[in-house]
Structure 1
């Protein structure tokens, strides 16, 4: 419950802050569309609010983040996998998730459903870092 409260607080703060609109940046993967809704910098951290839509059968590609990511599933179902291809979580509409930072936390998100997946994401990154860093595909196979 505490994590959910933290995610909702971060989302509320980001939305409530008169954020400056930006253009969307490229997202690795297939069938992924990102729209940056705003960004604000406090001290040495960038707070970025982004809407991500993943088409049915789409994937984020293998990646990691330089900062912590807080997510809310607005529609659909996210299948989330670790770098050893084990399921990290299945997140449905209304669920929240937290992705820790660093190259030791490589992961991929898939939409195996027949409807679009919509995520609202708050990135808390070191100032100037990219939203995600591409990672090589691990040697394991994702479950079908």
Structure 2
């Protein structure tokens, strides 16, 4: 599975919890969906590419150093730190370490909405 436009990102799905009632932003009028868990492996210097999600995502950096950028904010996350991504925010993540970045995360996916939507850089 590809993530954003980042062709070198390896993404493995671990599990799906279906029949969920999700908390979603006001712009989304439905709340049925699934919660999915993933492990993303990003080589040194590689990026997810710019993208966004239609629902909340939360991850923890297991290895490496992550730079997370939006149009307005740049944040760095070390192993053990948590990253929370709000819906409908364009962003990209880059591995800024010399080792493989491993990010374990859960993603809410509202029915009939894509898990990820590639976006142009701001």
TM over 0.5: yes
- Which of 129, 133, 136 is residue 113 of structure 2 equivalent to? 129
Contiguous gaps of at least 5 residues in structure 1: 1-24, 139-144
- Which of 58, 63, 66 is residue 75 of structure 1 equivalent to? 63
> CA offsets, 1:55-74, max 9 Å, x none?
00100000000110010101
| Displacement after TM superposition at 1:38 (Å) | 1.1
Number of residue pairs the alignment of both structures matches: 110
Larger radius of gyration between Structure 1 and Structure 2: 1
Question: Which residue is 1:37 aligned to?
Answer: 14
For 2:87 and 2:48, how far apart are their aligned partners in 1? 16
Q: 1:111 and 2:104 equivalent?
A: no
Q: Provide the TM-score with structure 1 as the length reference.
A: 0.72
Q: Provide the TM-score with structure 2 as the length reference.
A: 0.84
For 1:59 and 1:122, how far apart are their aligned partners in 2? 19
For 2:17 and 2:114, how far apart are their aligned partners in 1? 14
Between 1 and 2, higher relative CO (CA 8 Å, sep ≥ 6) is seen in: 2
Q: CA RMSD in A?
A: 1.3
Question: Which residue is 1:26 aligned to?
Answer: 2
Contiguous gaps of at least 5 residues in structure 2: 22-31
